[in-house]
Structure 1
Amino acid sequence: MNPAPDPRSAEEAWARHAWGDVFEILAEADRRRPLPPDGLERLALAAHLTGRRPESGELWTRAHHAWLTRGDVPRAVHCVFWLGLDLVLSGEWSHAAGWIARARRLLDAEQADCVEEGYLLALQGLQGYFAGDIADAADLSERASAFATRFGDADLLNFSMVSVGECLIRLGRPAEGVALLDEAMVAVTAGEVSPIVSGLAYCAVIAACHEVFDLRRAREWTAALSRWCSAQQQLVPYRGICLAHRVEIMQLHGDWADALDEADRACRWMRSAPAAESADAAYYQLGELHRVRGEYEEARRAYREASRLGHTAQPGVALSLLATGEVEAADAAIRTALDAAGDRNARCRILPAFVEVMLAAARVEEARSAARELAGAAEALESPLLDAVAARARGAVLVASGDSRAAQALLGRAVATFRELDAPYEAARTRLLIGLSCRESGDEVTARLEIEAAMAVFRALGAAPDLVRAEELALKAAGRAAGLLTAREREVLRHVAVGKSNRAVADDLFLSEKTVARHLGNIFAKLGVASRTAATAYAHRHGLV
């Protein structure tokens, strides 16, 4: 017979944040002899943190009944908060509503002035938030915060502050909302709140940062969440969002090879986790990485899996269709996605792709309208990233409309912001547009510089489709550049291209070596090359010999 678990070992495991060990030790103790209600609470928490959701719910229910048996209604209602929280976050709203109604009845009958009144308000606020009643959710969360302050409850104060911050963002007050979330995170990083509240706060603040396109905060809090998760042994929840957002940030910063490995690892980890959240987001990011690399079949497989798990898979699917020449299908898909996008922030994730597809379909006015909406949202959200995306969209519309000079100012501003944000791919895509606009305005020299700079980035990243497009633009530029050569310069180039020295060219054409050198300098400048070897290769490649 195995010896009875030593309670001190559970305490030691708790201190190490070894939640799997805590669960095993307390579960074995509970099998031998039912735990008291506070022990059941600890076991329920360990079950939650190790992804054992069904067991966690059963244990919170047992703890609730155990406290009622002891006549401690507030503690019983406290258990309802954790149970109801899990139900609301899992979308089981009717079940959660039943528990909330029971808790309300118990507190009304008890007529006790206790902090659990605030916990119940916070739970009702969360339910209202997910139901779309944001103003009411904000009011309930503010009232919960007042209870937390009066009773000095750190968990409730943090939870309600985060809820109010999220509501403020949805109510069109992003600066106030983000500031409140930053304040709430002080308690989290200082270790002042419980693990579940900490994890929820990290998830909420990172999601909010992405919602308002605040890249700097998203990067900072994702790194903090990664460190926190590493300190929580055998933790299952919250790692999903950490991995998914890490992939998104790595992709934006140009770490594509590492991002692809991380995305693949995230998807494998989530498949093996007993209650993995954010798997849909991980698969979507995997699809995005494959798409920009030109691996369209792999991208579509990832998008299908993301869709199966609940993600919209847009705008990735529409952009993938566009890249493979299926413009009509891309048009239909992106329209459906934009129609389904409920609020402003959701539309902002679709609008850039909508502009791109509309321009490809020669629907310039629809693209212009979408770009204007995107610019208005960027101004309201005060997001540098979104402002750069909007400026590029407006610039692309201006290029398509023939107003290349006006486009260049917007596109230049976008490139500067993308560089500040360390987003090389986005900067390179914008520089390609600048190259196109310069060409349209007759500035071939600048056009060539911009296109070649973009090509270098695409080549380094492995952005195959963008590299092909840039090379096609470079070939067109080559044709124009060749047309800029004078008859004498073409003659000099033909002689150089067959291996003749400057002296030999001078003798053949009855010129001085100095004149030949001057002609070569002009040729190099016009063709955008730096040596006679490159000029020779260029001449052969483009039929100038």
Structure 2
Amino acid sequence: MEPGHELERGREALGAGSWLAAAELLTRSDRESPLGAADLELLATAAYMLGRDDEYRSTLERAHHAHLEAAETEPAVRCAFWLGLALLLQGQTAPATGWFARAERIFEGEGIDSVERGYLLIPGLLQRSAAGDHDGARAIAWQAAAIGARFGDRDLQALVVQEQGHALVRLGRAEEGLRLVDEVMLAVTSGDLSPIVTGLVYCNTIAFCQSVYELRRAREWTDALSRWCEQQPDMVAHTGVCLVHRAEILQLRGAWEEALEEARRAGERFTLGNYDAQADARARYRQGEVHRLKGDFALAEEAYREASSGGWEPQPGLALLRLAEGDGAAAVASIRRVIGETADPLERAGLIAARVEIMIAIGKAGDARGDCAELERTAEHQGSWVLGAMSCQARGAVELDADEAAEALVSLRRAWRMWRQLEAPYEAARVRELIGLACRELDDNDGAAMELEAARAAFETLGARPDLARVEALPGAAEPEAHGLTAREREVLRLVADGRTNKAIAAELVLSERTIDRHVSNIFAKVGVSSRASATAFAYEHDLV
């Protein structure tokens, strides 16, 4: 076959997204006669999409030098930029900085006005964003977007407008920022962008949506990314990250076995190339979360350790695992440590919700009221349904523990409605369990039974063994032989019969003395007695101790 014919077929294969065929044809053509700079860029693209990172960088470097030799400054600068970005995304900051500096030097030395100036703003933009300077990042993104618009470069516009949207969301202008993100994703799904930029924008957008609790959008874009990956069966780039995102979405949907499988497949996919250490560690963490919820604690711990080894913070999952294992002190220490070193309100939100659960479990719910207030402020600032559900659930759980059942029901009903609309069955079931307990405290035994049965059935369907065991172990609510006493009132009566004072009972149950006074008054009224001695006699006569 004529070398020129192979080259033409290689170009056609690349245009059709047949990455393996393109790489083979262009490589053969290169062996016969060295490719020119533009065709080397095509070969580099094929290598990237096949996950051949080293080949991508070496080929792109050849293209860079070929452009320089041909006095083609703009494409040489762009190749240097992409080399720097590839290294930066893999955590190789020093060589990345070197390539960015080279690109700047070449560009400034020529004194030209071209779209490459916009690309060279991206490293500074990313640096500002990583440092939490969202105003600064937004300003640079706006400047780069204007350059992209002036030169009609859709790739540049997509890369920087999405960052502009991200900055606005983090500045509390969620509606405005998400509108920009949606605009960029329209260009992605319409096929207006180059394949490398398409994959980058997909992955960046999904990761961002998850980080700011925009899970509906994360779900929609993950489905779109999955379809894009399926259309290119020999593509390796982005497929591992896509599987990690799918695992996270599947867990939320309650498809835990599928989530585990996708997380495992992600790890396998990374071995084929385009390795992303952070995403691989994130996949391990996701496996740990599913194992923990299923009650496979040894497997969960192993996965959390692998995640930590890969550079991913294994919290709050590890703290919740320790709580499930009965080590409340370790759970408190872990969650306190990670919250103490986390400043960003959105990063703190999931950690704070976990600390509320832990503090309630160890009998220190009063310490969690400040955490509830922080969650509520973050939810209000972001306007996120997920954060709203989390804050209402936390508030309701704390109120219930403080014997404020009526107030708790208001918060919990709101949380349940939001989790249900978000199609999050596990979270919804956790809230229904709390609603059932609140109903029981208010002597609504029918309501309690229905809510607890709904929670039990959901846990059974999900395979949430620890939660299922907890619900099944709950005592019956105000049964006839309990003489109308709630579970909490029977608990107080047993302590009264044991000779405890109200102050001692309050300390034992971690409640206020005023709350115990109210419980004792209710007990006296329900069983028809007027003294502690008579209440004690009643308890023994009716087998309530």
TM over 0.5: yes
**How many Å separate the matches in 1 of 2:207 and 2:274?**
23
> Which AA in structure 1 matches 2:424?
A
Q: TM-score, normalised by structure 2?
A: 0.85
Are 1:270 and 2:235 matched, yes or no? no
**How many Å separate the matches in 2 of 1:261 and 1:122?**
36
User: 1:217 deviation in Å?
Assistant: 0.8
> Which AA in structure 2 matches 1:348?
A
SS in 1 for 2:291: helix
> Which AA in structure 1 matches 2:236?
V
**How many Å separate the matches in 1 of 2:135 and 2:58?**
33
User: 1:455 deviation in Å?
Assistant: 0.6
Are 1:414 and 2:415 matched, yes or no? yes
Are 1:313 and 2:314 matched, yes or no? yes
Contact 2:51–2:272, Cα closer than 8 Å, also in 1: no
Are 1:334 and 2:335 matched, yes or no? yes
> Which AA in structure 2 matches 1:148?
G
Query: 1:418-460 deviations in whole A, cap 9, x for unaligned?
Result: 1111211111110111111222233233222211111111111
Q: TM-score, normalised by structure 1?
A: 0.85
**How many Å separate the matches in 1 of 2:70 and 2:58?**
19
Structure 1 residues 134, 479: CA separation in 2 closer, same or farther (over 3 Å shift)? closer
**How many Å separate the matches in 2 of 1:129 and 1:377?**
19
User: 1:461 deviation in Å?
Assistant: 1.1
Tell me which residue corresponds to 1:498.
none
**How many Å separate the matches in 1 of 2:379 and 2:414?**
14
Tell me which residue corresponds to 1:246.
246
Structure 1 residues 195, 322: CA separation in 2 closer, same or farther (over 3 Å shift)? same
Tell me which residue corresponds to 1:482.
481
Structure 1, 425-434 or 85-94: larger mean CA deviation: 85-94
Structure 1, 429-438 or 83-92: larger mean CA deviation: 83-92
Tell me which residue corresponds to 1:60.
60
Tell me which residue corresponds to 1:458.
459
Contact 1:118–1:144, Cα closer than 8 Å, also in 2: yes
SS in 2 for 1:6: helix
- Paired residues, what number? 485
Contact 1:161–1:184, Cα closer than 8 Å, also in 2: yes
User: 1:75 deviation in Å?
Assistant: 1.3
Query: 1:283-310 deviations in whole A, cap 9, x for unaligned?
Result: 1111111111101011111111111112
User: 1:261 deviation in Å?
Assistant: 2.7
Can you give the 5+ residue segments of structure 2 that lack an aligned partner in the other structure? 486-542
Tell me which residue corresponds to 2:117.
117
Contact 1:162–1:180, Cα closer than 8 Å, also in 2: yes
**How many Å separate the matches in 1 of 2:217 and 2:129?**
23
Structure 1, 93-102 or 341-350: larger mean CA deviation: 93-102
Query: 1:2-53 deviations in whole A, cap 9, x for unaligned?
Result: 9757113212321331212222222232233321111111111112111111
SS in 2 for 1:232: coil
**How many Å separate the matches in 2 of 1:367 and 1:234?**
51
Map 1:200-349 → 2, pairs under 5 A:
200-273=200-273, 275-276=275-276, 278-349=279-350
**How many Å separate the matches in 1 of 2:152 and 2:33?**
34
Structure 1 residues 285, 399: CA separation in 2 closer, same or farther (over 3 Å shift)? same
User: 1:331 deviation in Å?
Assistant: 0.7
**How many Å separate the matches in 2 of 1:222 and 1:9?**
32
Contact 2:52–2:273, Cα closer than 8 Å, also in 1: no
**How many Å separate the matches in 1 of 2:129 and 2:271?**
29
**How many Å separate the matches in 1 of 2:128 and 2:410?**
44
Can you give the 5+ residue segments of structure 1 that lack an aligned partner in the other structure? 487-542
SS in 1 for 2:311: coil
Structure 1 residues 162, 202: CA separation in 2 closer, same or farther (over 3 Å shift)? same
Tell me which residue corresponds to 2:405.
404
Structure 1 residues 113, 434: CA separation in 2 closer, same or farther (over 3 Å shift)? same
SS in 2 for 1:369: helix
Tell me which residue corresponds to 1:530.
none
Aligned-pair identity (%):
44
Tell me which residue corresponds to 1:523.
none
Query: 1:358-415 deviations in whole A, cap 9, x for unaligned?
Result: 1122222321111111111111111112111110100011111121110011001111
**How many Å separate the matches in 1 of 2:336 and 2:210?**
23
**How many Å separate the matches in 2 of 1:482 and 1:13?**
78
> Which AA in structure 2 matches 1:477?
G
Contact 1:174–1:212, Cα closer than 8 Å, also in 2: no
SS in 2 for 1:54: helix
**How many Å separate the matches in 1 of 2:274 and 2:201?**
22
User: 1:91 deviation in Å?
Assistant: 2.2
Contact 1:375–1:387, Cα closer than 8 Å, also in 2: yes
**How many Å separate the matches in 2 of 1:104 and 1:485?**
79
> Which AA in structure 1 matches 2:346?
N
Structure 1 residues 441, 463: CA separation in 2 closer, same or farther (over 3 Å shift)? same
Tell me which residue corresponds to 1:101.
101
